[in-house]
Amino acid sequence: MGADPKIGVVGVGFWGRNHLRVLKELGLPVEAICDVNRERAESLAKYFGIKKFYTDLREMLKKEDLQAVTICTPSVTHAECAVMALESGLDVFVEKPLASTVNECFKIIDSMKSNNKLVMTGFIERFNPAVNKAVQLLEAGEIGDVIMSHGRRIGWWPQRIGDVGVIKDTAIHDIDLVRFIFKQDPTQVYARGGRQRHHLDDHVQAILTLEDESKVAFIEANWLTPRKKREMQITGSEGVLSIKFLTQEVSLEKADVVIEPIIKQGEPLKLELKHFIECIKKRQKPLADAIDGLKAVAIAEAMLESMERNRIVDIDLKKLI
């Protein structure tokens, strides 16, 4: 498969720091880091033994011989950073959301296509061992015909966030998981929510109707509830499957038995970044690509529109691509 690609990390705040740690644990060479905060960039470069640090991405891309970057900057800068890297001939991993708007997602996709490079969207839950086990059980027909899902992501506002609301930052995980688990797109959404303590949306309750109209997905997310919960229940004609994302647990409830399968634990971010590197080396499509990122943002924007207009909003993702 060839040598490991030389990687740069763009944005080394709360989550970018985790990228640096995981890449080092994977034994992958981080050649340089970039952050607008010079003191932070210098400090982390020293801590992780990285030779070069920058405060300007354009300068880093010009001076360093990189094959790929991971982008962990604020959402509103994702498109600018990704396009800059793609135009410099690099493969790109972008933390979710792919971009802060659908139009910005298209800028990334257009650049990806014109430069013939890979773009992976950071939907970390696709790499959660509990999700993988749940998908195996669903595909084996353990709960029969899937009828609905209910995802909950609640907890205090993460202070690292300030540029997008709870829908595009938090609910977007379950938006993507609905598509991943049901293997189809939603066609309608009705959402209720608002801004209780923050200048952007901080709570939402939404129902998504799938292409198979007998199937629906409920999504609940907020930055208000004091106790953090990350969970999903999937109801079928013959049972209920429950996923606890934080503890990587799955519970299967059937008519006369409750099964809690043993799951081999693993750090989702490590599994995710390892997959990104493998995709670069094999030149293969990532499990969560730029189109997945685009679709999730489009659904999120439909949820926001429904919430603001207090009505059902149709979603036609086929018109996007």
Kindly state the helix (H) or strand (E) to which residue 296 belongs, with its residue range: helix 290-309
pTM for this structure?
0.96
* Residue 283 CB neighbour total at 10 angstroms: 10
Token duo for residue 266: 């693993």
Q: Quote the strand ranges of 47-185, DSSP E.
A: 52-54, 68-71, 91-95, 119-122, 146-154
Whole-number Å distance between alpha carbons of 302 and 311:
11
**pLDDT confidence of residue 10:** 98
| Residue range 59-93, pLDDT digits in tens | 999 999 999 999 999 999 999 999 999 999 999 99
In the three-class reduction of DSSP (H, G, I as helix; E, B as strand; rest coil), residue 75 is classed as helix
Kindly state the helix (H) or strand (E) to which residue 30 belongs, with its residue range: strand 30-34
**pLDDT confidence of residue 162:** 67
Asked if pLDDT for residue 1 goes beyond 60, the answer is no
CATH topology of domain 125-264+299-319: Dihydrodipicolinate Reductase; domain 2 (3.30.360)
Cα radius of gyration rounded to whole Å, the chain: 20
Q: Where are the domains of the chain?
A: 7-124+270-289, 125-264+299-319
Asked if pLDDT for residue 320 goes beyond 90, the answer is no
In the three-class reduction of DSSP (H, G, I as helix; E, B as strand; rest coil), residue 133 is classed as helix
- The mean pLDDT of 208-227, rounded to a whole number, is 96
Measure Cα distances from 115 to 3, 46, 85, 318 in Å.
22, 33, 10, 24
| Residue range 12-28, pLDDT digits in tens | 999 999 999 999 999 99
Q: How confident is the model at residue 29 (pLDDT cuts 50, 70, 90)?
A: confident
CATH topology of domain 7-124+270-289: Rossmann fold (3.40.50)
Place of tokens 């050649």: 31
Picking from 115, 199, 118, the residue whose alpha carbon sits closest to that of residue 161 is 199
Whole-number Å distance between alpha carbons of 80 and 62:
16
